[in-house]
Amino acid sequence: MTMKLFGPTKLDATLIPKIAGQWGTPVYLHDQKYIENSCEQLLNMPNAFGLHVRYAMKANSDRTVLRVVTNKGLDLDCSSLDEAARAHAAGVPYSRMMLTTQEVPSGEERAELEQMIKAGLKYNVCSMTQFQLIADFAKANGIDLSMRVHPGAAGGGESATRDTGSEYSCFGVHLNDVPTVKAMADQLGLRFTQVHVHIGSGGDPEKWRQNIDRELGFVKTYFPDATTVSFGGGLKVARMPGEKQADITSLGGYAAQRITEFKEATGRELQMEIEPGTFVVANSGHIITRIIDKKLTNELNFLIVDGGMELLTRPLLYGSEHPIAIVRQDGTLLSSEYDTKPTAGLKSFGIVGRCCESGDSVRLDNDGNIVPVLIAEPEIGDYVVIGGTGAYSESMSPENYNSHRKPGAVMRTRTSELVLIRKKQIREQLVQNELDVKL
């Protein structure tokens, strides 16, 4: 029997030309059922005295995605004031958000932050400067705070740039400064009722366990008022065949055990919080591109597709791998990296985008060189479908590079209906904020 379903969402290859015909290429495709199933897995994670799950909306901040995850019971972790405002515009109340940011707002943004906090936003202090910014306001309004602690330990993710806890990152109040900030808070009568440590994305599960132990030590030593401990996100997702996905049952069980032991030693019950993003949406997404050219050189055969680094920057930033499927114009699935092992008859192709950059490819090594992909040989007009793109693709792409327009996005609903959730930019939007200045 010819295979036609591929990828973790069991995407029907015959839908690819249908989607392309209706909405054009390139186009993002998401799967509601997969996102909802991921949410349910997380909400059922073992815990000792309660579990609070926040979706890291930086992974994908589309309003339809936000509504899907919040309707399933997840709250939000926001990385900027604009993210918080964006989520609120999507109908999410501020009381369901935590703000963990590098920003130190002033002026109008400071006033906006205060209004958000009054409306229920939880503020996660990430530096001494941020604490000094918010301290008087928090005291005057009787607001409890959270603190993100920089532990000085990395998470072991797929690249150094995805570690947020090592000595080469600056996220959170450094452990050396925690006693000072805590003393300042005590003088003002302010409480830190939540402690947060996040050590990076896609990391080693053993380092995640070590982070749990480390953070509980911080809580015991510095935070007598803490009732919630956030272990961050960074739960590994298996985008490629052979990769090992985070065992959240095992990790949750370990956390529950350690939190129970913490209560036995201190008499204090702690609620556990996590903030996954990738785990929720990564494998729900595909990018559908069309082959617009083929080039043969002495060194490598190339396929040029109509969407590359301006849609998916992770290979260039991190050396990340995404599974490739080849679909004919008639909807026949020719090959799928995610589902089948390399077999005879496949050929090596470098798959590149249309941007004027040597790094515009779906697969690169650590030195930035193009890595060929083993696929069934396609023709111009066939489709290259890139998997594992639901997270950190459209939300972090360098959109409009080379003046390419940001593509639309489609959601396959839980009833298998295809719905457009974001329109493709029109050319006029590329310049709509530019002023016609005569010099």
Model confidence over 175-202: pLDDT tens digits?
A: 999 999 999 999 999 999 999 998 766 5
Closest CA to 62 of 417, 406, 354: 406
Three-class secondary structure of residue 352 per DSSP:
strand
Q: Report pLDDT for 154.
A: 44
Where does the pLDDT of residue 363 fall: very low under 50, low under 70, confident under 90, or very high at 90 and above?
very high
Three-class secondary structure of residue 230 per DSSP:
strand
Q: Report pLDDT for 207.
A: 83
All domains in the chain, ordered by first residue: 5-29+285-426 (2.40.37.10), 45-280 (3.20.20.10)
376/127 Cα distance (integer angstroms) = 52
Average pLDDT, the chain: 93
pLDDT tens-digit map of 237-285? 999 988 999 999 999 999 999 999 999 999 999 999 999 999 999 999 9
Cβ burial 345-360 (10 Å sphere, 16+ → b, else e): ebeebbbbbbbebebb
pLDDT surpassing 90 at residue 234 = no
pLDDT surpassing 70 at residue 405 = yes
pLDDT tens-digit map of 40-67? 999 999 999 999 999 999 999 999 999 9
What's the start-to-end Cα distance of the chain, in Å? 67
Residue 398 burial by Cβ neighbours in a 10 Å radius (0-12, 13-18, 19+) = middle
What average pLDDT does the segment 140-145 reach?
A: 97
30/37 Cα distance (integer angstroms) = 13
**Which of the two residues, 198 and 97, has the higher pLDDT score?**
97
Q: Report pLDDT for 355.
A: 94
pLDDT surpassing 80 at residue 203 = no
Question: For the ranges 1-5, 99-103, 387-391, which has the lowest average pLDDT?
Answer: 1-5
What does the radius of gyration of the chain's CA atoms come to, in whole angstroms?
23
Closest CA to 304 of 248, 381, 246: 381
Where does the pLDDT of residue 157 fall: very low under 50, low under 70, confident under 90, or very high at 90 and above?
very low
Closest CA to 245 of 279, 290, 216, 268: 279
Q: How many CB atoms lie within 10 A of CB 363?
A: 19
213/43 Cα distance (integer angstroms) = 22
**Which of the two residues, 211 and 166, has the higher pLDDT score?**
211
What is the DSSP secondary-structure string of 303-349?
A: EEES-STTT--HHHHH-----EEEE-TTS-EEEETTTS---TT-EEE
pLDDT surpassing 80 at residue 152 = no
Q: Report pLDDT for 242.
A: 86
Q: Which residues pair with 53 in a beta bridge?
A: 274
Percent of the chain with pLDDT over 90: 85
Q: Report pLDDT for 95.
A: 98
Q: In terms of residues, how long is the chain? A: 439
Instruction: Report whether 67 contacts 90 (CB < 8 A).
Output: yes
CA 319 vs. chain centroid, Å, equals 16
Q: Report pLDDT for 296.
A: 86
What average pLDDT does the segment 423-433 reach?
A: 96
Peptide bond into 26 cis (omega under 30): yes
Closest CA to 77 of 237, 251, 271, 274: 274
Supply 352's token pair.
């590149």
What average pLDDT does the segment 213-241 reach?
A: 94
What is the DSSP secondary-structure string of 61-99?
A: --HHHHHHHHHTT-EEEESSHHHHHHHHHTT--GGGEEE
